[in-house]
Chains A and B, each alone.
Chain A
Amino acid sequence: MKIKVCGLRVRENIVHVDQLEVDYIGLIFHEESPRFFSDQQLPDTMAKKIGVFVDKDFELIMNTIKEYQLKAVQLHGKESPELCRKLLKSDLEVIKAFAVDDDFEPSVLSDYSDSCSYFLFDTKTHKHGGSGKKFNWDILQSLDYSLPFFLSGGIGPEDANAIRSLRLNNLIGIDLNSRFEDAPAIKNFDKLSAFIKEIKPMKYKINEEGYYGSYGGAFIPELLYQNIQELKENYLKIMESDSFQDEFIRLLKEYVGRPSPLYFSKALSEKYGAQIFLKREDLNHTGSHKINNTIGQILLAKSLGKKRIIAETGAGQHGVATATVCAREGLECVVFMGALDVERQQPNVQKMQMLGAKVVPVESGNKTLKDATNEAIRDWINHPEETYYLIGSVVGPHPYPDMVSRFQSVISEEIKNQLKQQTGNVNSDKIIACVGGGSNAIGAYYHFLDDENVKLIAVEADGLGLETGETAATTAAGSPGIIHGSKTILMQTDDGQIVEPYSISAGLDYPGIGPVHAHLFETGRVEFIRATDDEALKAAFELTALEGIIPALETAHALAALPKLEFKEDELVVINISGRGDKDMATYQKYIESLKHPYQPPKMLTQAEHEDVNGLFIP
């Protein structure tokens, strides 16, 4: 449910309302309105700014858009479908408002169905809305909608239940205005906050105590309490500040190379009978999605005045992404990496060293990602003051999972915009991503979580297969417990000892998943499937042959979902290509060799053959 708060005017009030994470902030450019907006300094906001106009011409609207950097327009007069279309083509979201009373003539909607983004239904008055009164919502039940719509007109603090029980598929958002005010244009923060909490149940987002459903929280030694507390108190404040956002967005664009392309794969589409798009996170600087998060966290660490950065890494992608941002910021960097991973991901080890990071091979446990994470946490315990722990996935104690999710959410934000531009649809039918800890997956899902029509698919690494026990498919082989400071699903013995996972992919070779994914798994919002080493290898070679893209082994697991799923011809499918395969060349090379000299298992006799043989020789 999108929230639009309309008719704001005062800078401080706008800043305040923006903290509620509303989707739109509406500014009214209609002179007769008591909430008319003019000549004000506008703050930057997380919410999109939308301009409300009544019968203005194209030039005037466009000038206002430029002046106030609006992202959307809402048209409340007798604007023509042509004008709407012209604005839509100018890269704006266009909401056409209709005044509704008992005599509303729904046929008028059809003229606008291909010229705007959304409809908005408001109570009919002689003054273009703003009456504080509701129209008869029963009318909504009988409308044939061609577009999603916003509900407007007199919605008040007591209406949350009534709105939730409307159950209209195309109701995409609500428009709040006069009933949440202290005075015209001055919104009441507490009233809005309470209402939004009620209407937006935050089903898949973190709650105030740091939990996703029953998963998450902070299960850490008292020794880390202060560090986590410091982060908890500051992360949103810092992340939402204008200066942080400016720098973050600038670096993602100019340093990382975002937006990463959304590439339509004709070859895969033909092969699997769907419209398959590849989100090219592999083209980011350092070769994976990991840099989105490290850029964000390094800016945060700097704001907190930290001097030394530590990180864990599996495949080395997060280690390289961390070493990269540390080099750029001139901060000391120590990366913990399982000794086994150091061996199998040499190119990344060399990169980290060249970038000036100290790579510490971890010899405990299975010498992989889990052990590297343990060691990083121990280092943090030993250096609590000057050190910042830059976690690479949506794991760890609250607030890490939420923080990393937010940094990675840029992926789905872009997917939405790109799909819209390339196909006209904002929503994909399916989104597929691989899950180790789950940061690329949550990044690809984030802005689709509340659109339940979008099917989200997570692919876990199944190693040699679930039945062999040599697997990293956490949801299939695991149960609820505590790992690395949060409550989630993990692979463990009955006695609660964490089990060593196995996967050919160092980045997925992890016995837990982020708590958000445990919640998404448990609620059924995300479908979890598995791909074995072998299936992933085949998928990597297929993409390479068909599209000339060598994916990372982790990503190959997401691609391995394709032959396992059923598609409809016109279905939109996005696969998150989380990283590129340079680091995996040794493994790929070995696979090629094994195909040249395939291993021939000794011929075993079937039961029937046995009996035949026995029959022959023993009369």
Chain B
Amino acid sequence: MKRLNQLFQKNEKILSIYFTAGYPHLNSSKEIIIELEKNGVDLIEIGIPYSDPLADGPIIQKSSQIALENGMSLEFLLHELKDIRAEVDIPLVLMGYFNSVMQFGIEQLFKRMNEIGLDGIILPDMLIEVYEKEFCELFEEYDIKSIFLITPSTPEDRIRRIDKMSKSFIYMVSSASTTGVRETYDDNSLAYFKRIKSMNLKAPILTGFGISSKQHFDQVCEYSDGGIIGSAFIKSFKKEVPIQQSISSFVSSVKK
């Protein structure tokens, strides 16, 4: 899966967008992916909706609930994305909770991801200890990149360990919080961004959680290789606005 590696060879800041599969409509994932690529987004995280998303704030919780009510499941999603590579080249990673993957069967999922051309997966509730002990070899066998999180409380030696294990990028959680839209980054967050930057990690870093505006995005880009927007993007869908239009105005508001 070279798409992810090539992405970070470009010398520009990365905009990554997260959306919940199955929201706003059961079949909207494909259209969202195509439109995001068309509007110049660099990376897409496809959220597998889960009944009990512990690390997520109200917006992603609600969108997940609606997606599940719409009938979304991991099987449905993979089927929907079956021919997506005929349409887009943008790197695509899945993001979801460990239980979904465990029930589907991790190897089974990797096979399907290979067939489709999905590049990696973010499982926020799989600690590196579990990855190393149980799944590391499977990830390597299928060349699926596992993306790990670091947070303001992750100790330095652990960050170094995560850096070493990362085959693509590190997901830097901006502050001690669940996902959601925030007003500003405080001094603590900025000090943390600086601290991580000065560690000169080998893996590229994308900052996420709480980014909702161009101002936020530009701010995190000063300290890292780009930013991830989730809740704010999901919130931008409006009933009366077609998805196409909604996406183009959102992306241009962040990345002019």
Interface residues, chain A, with chain B CB atoms under 8 Å away: 217-223, 225-227, 364-365, 370, 374, 377-378, 381-385, 481-485, 492, 494-498
Q: Which residue of B lies closest to A230 (CB)?
A: B153
What are 27 A-B pairs with beta-carbon distances under 8 A?
A219-B127, A220-B54, A222-B150, A222-B151, A223-B173, A225-B151, A225-B153, A225-B158, A226-B153, A226-B154, A364-B65, A378-B55, A378-B57, A381-B176, A381-B178, A382-B176, A383-B176, A482-B97, A482-B99, A484-B54, A495-B73, A495-B103, A495-B104, A496-B99, A496-B101, A497-B51, A498-B52
Instruction: Provide the residues of chain B in CB contact with A382, threshold 8 Å.
Output: 176-178
Contacts A481-B102, A482-B98 hold; do A225 and B154 have CB atoms under 8 A apart? yes
Query: Is B124 in contact with A496, judged by CB distance below 8 angstroms?
Result: no
CA distance A381 to B153 in the complex (A): 11
Q: Does residue B39 face the partner (Cβ distance < 8 Å to A)?
A: no
A365 to B75, CA, bound (A): 23
**B50 interface hit (Cβ, 8 Å):** yes
Residue of A with least CB distance to B175? A382
Q: Name 10 extra pairs, CB < 8 A, besides A223-B55, A497-B50, A497-B68.
A: A218-B129, A221-B55, A222-B151, A225-B127, A378-B54, A382-B177, A481-B99, A485-B54, A495-B74, A496-B74
Report chain B residues within 8 Å CB of A481. 99, 102-103
In the complex with contacts A221-B149, A225-B153, A483-B52 CB distance below 8 A? yes
If A481-B99, A482-B99, A492-B99 touch, whether A223 touches B153 (CB-CB below 8 Å) is yes
**With the chains together, A494 CA to B51 CA distance in Å?**
13
Tell me the smallest distance from the CB of A456 to a CB of chain B, in Å. 28
B103 near A496 with CB under 8 A, answer: yes
Contact of B51 among A217, A221, A226, A365 (CB under 8 A): A365
Which of B52, B75, B102, B127 has the most chain A CB atoms inside 10 A of its CB? B52
Number of A-B contacts (CB under 8 A): 102
Contact A222-B149, Cβ < 8 Å, known A482-B102, A497-B68: yes
Q: Is the CB of A498 within 8 A of B51?
A: yes
**In the complex, which residue of chain A has the Cβ closest to the Cβ of B150?**
A222
State the 10 A-B residue pairs at the shortest beta-carbon distance, nearest first.
Answer: A496-B103, A222-B149, A497-B51, A226-B153, A495-B73, A482-B99, A221-B55, A496-B100, A221-B124, A498-B51
- Which residue of B has the minimal Cβ distance to A219? B125
Q: Chain B: interface residue count, which band? A: 35 or more
* Interface status of B61 (Cβ within 8 A of chain A): yes
Q: Which residues of B (125-147) have their CB < 8 Å from a CB of A?
A: 125-127, 129-130
| A485→B37 CA distance, assembly (Å) | 35
Q: A378-B54, A384-B153 are in contact. Are A217 and B73 (CB under 8 A)?
A: no
B155 near A: Cβ within 8 Å?
A: yes
Interface residues of B in 56-88 (CB under 8 A from A): 57, 61, 65, 68, 73-75
Q: For A226, what are the chain B residues with a Cβ–Cβ distance below 8 Å? A: 153-155
**Of the candidates A222, A365, A495, which one forms a contact with B100 in the assembled complex, judged by CB atoms under 8 Å apart?**
A495
- A107-B84 Cα distance, complex, nearest whole Å: 85
Complex Cα distance, B209 from A223, in Å, reads: 12
Shortest Cβ distance from B68 into A: residue: A497
Given contacts A221-B124, A481-B102, contact A384 B50 (CB under 8 A): no
When the two chains form their complex, are residues A217 and B130 in contact, meaning their CB atoms are under 8 A apart? yes
Known: A496-B104, A497-B50. A381 touches B154 (CB 8 A): no
Rounded to whole Å, the gap between the CB of B145 and the closest CB of chain A is 17
A222 near B124: Cβ-Cβ < 8 Å: yes
In the assembled complex, the Cα of A607 lies from the Cα of B178 at a distance in Å of 58
In the complex, whether B169 has a CB less than 8 A from a CB of chain A is no
Nearest A residue (CB) for B209: A223
B148 on the A face (CB < 8 A): yes
- Complex-state Cα separation, A34 to B68, whole angstroms: 73
Please indicate the chain B residues that have their CB under 8 angstroms from the CB of A364 in the complex.
61, 65
Q: Are A218 and B178 in contact (CB under 8 A)?
A: no
* Alpha-carbon separation in the docked complex, A377 to B54 (Å): 7
Enumerate chain B residues within 8 angstroms of A384, measured Cβ to Cβ.
153, 176
* CB–CB B154/A374 < 8 A: no
A385 proximity list for chain B (CB < 8 A)? 153, 176
Q: Determine if A381 and B103 form an interchain contact, defined as CB atoms under 8 angstroms apart.
A: no
CB of A222 within 8 A of CB of B51, answer no
Would you call A482 and B51 a contact (CB within 8 A)?
Answer: no
Note all chain A residues with C-beta closer than 8 A to B155: 226
Query: What is the CA–CA distance of A221 and B65 in the complex, to the nearest angstrom?
Result: 20
Residues on the A chain within 8 Å of B127, using CB:
218-220, 222, 225
B235 to chain A, nearest CB (A): 17
**Measured between C-beta atoms, what is the minimum distance from A306 to chain B in Å?**
15
B54 touches A221 (CB 8 A): yes
Point out the residues of chain A lying under 8 angstroms from B51, CB to CB. Answer: 365, 497-498
Beyond A481-B99, A483-B99, A485-B125, is A223–B176 a contact (Cβ under 8 Å)?
Answer: yes
Question: A492 to B130, Cβ gap below 8 A?
Answer: no
Give the Cβ gap from B163 to chain A, nearest Cβ, in Å: 13
Question: How far in angstroms is the closest Cβ of chain A from B97?
Answer: 8
State A511–B89 Cα separation when bound (angstroms): 41
A495, B177: Cβ atoms closer than 8 Å: no
In the complex the two chains form, is A219's CB within 8 Å of B176's CB? no
